[in-house]
Amino acid sequence: MRPKRQPLLAIDIGNSTIGLCFFIDPNIGKGLTVEKIPLSHIKSSATLSRMIINLLAKCYKTSNLPKQRIGVVISSVVPELTRYATAAVKSLCTDPVIITHTLATGLTLKVSNPKTLGSDRIVNGLAGFRHFGKPIAVVDVGTATTITVVNKNSTLIGGAIMPGINLMRESLASNTAKLPLIPLQKPSSMLGTDTESALVSGIINGTVGAVENIVRGIEEETHMKLKLILTGGQAGLIASVLKREHVVIPDLIFEGMRLIYNLHKEN
């Protein structure tokens, strides 16, 4: 049995939110607490630091935090906020692990320009592959809807990116004269019979159709059968309509961050 490690804080910085996940022991793949914070609430590194301290106090059920240092791993697609996060954890961790395309992750990156590959896609790809041990396509339904493909040799070979469902509904509402900002919900049918139901069908059924078509096309091009994994904030909504066999793992990215942290600390 591996010895218990110091607690781990995983910080996932996306385009809309910052996710915080706390592991009492990073050898165990279950986060004790997960919180999502809108980026609009993060005004400075001091603001983020207070939120992190509040989370840790909640996890330890005391206002007196433990005196030992904790591990920190950061995945970010917003460079300015990477700096905020690094400064925010200075009192907790002197050496946070920041995930980039150059960090050892257990994946080979076979794309034309790895530098442009988002760390979230690397992390999700690793977690999905390690979970199933077979070729996978991870669909992350967030600000953007991304598809990331890993083959049987644990090689990330590419994928696809499209606007997320929230981005689509907000864009339609703000760039047209008469289309409203609709609530997101499962469409009752393909055929919309009024403006709202037509928008719901177009956004949700359109995203599902794009995902199914793209994944099927990648399978034909690569001659692989892909295990389909859905994750991200809107994964459940897409899953309610998707006909293809799939599995939903809402916090897949935190599992991947835990795995990468452990790999980095073992090397």
Please give the positions annotated as active site. 120
Q: What burial class does residue 32 get, using C-beta atoms within 10 Å of its C-beta: 0-12 exposed, 13-18 middle, 19+ buried?
A: middle
For the chain, the residue count is 267
List, in order, residues 6 or more apart from 117 with CB less than 8 Å away: 101, 109, 111, 156
Report d(CA 203, CA 97) in Å as an integer.
Answer: 37
- Helix/strand/coil for 232: coil
Report d(CA 111, CA 157) in Å as an integer.
Answer: 6
List, in order, residues 6 or more apart from 16 with CB less than 8 Å away: 38, 39, 142, 143, 166, 233
Backbone angles phi, psi at 54, to 5 degrees: -65, -40
Whether residue 163 contacts residue 145, with contact meaning beta carbons closer than 8 Å, is answered with yes
Report d(CA 221, CA 215) in Å as an integer.
Answer: 10
Angle of helix 45-60 versus helix 79-88 axis, rounded to 10:
50
Whether residue 167 contacts residue 147, with contact meaning beta carbons closer than 8 Å, is answered with no
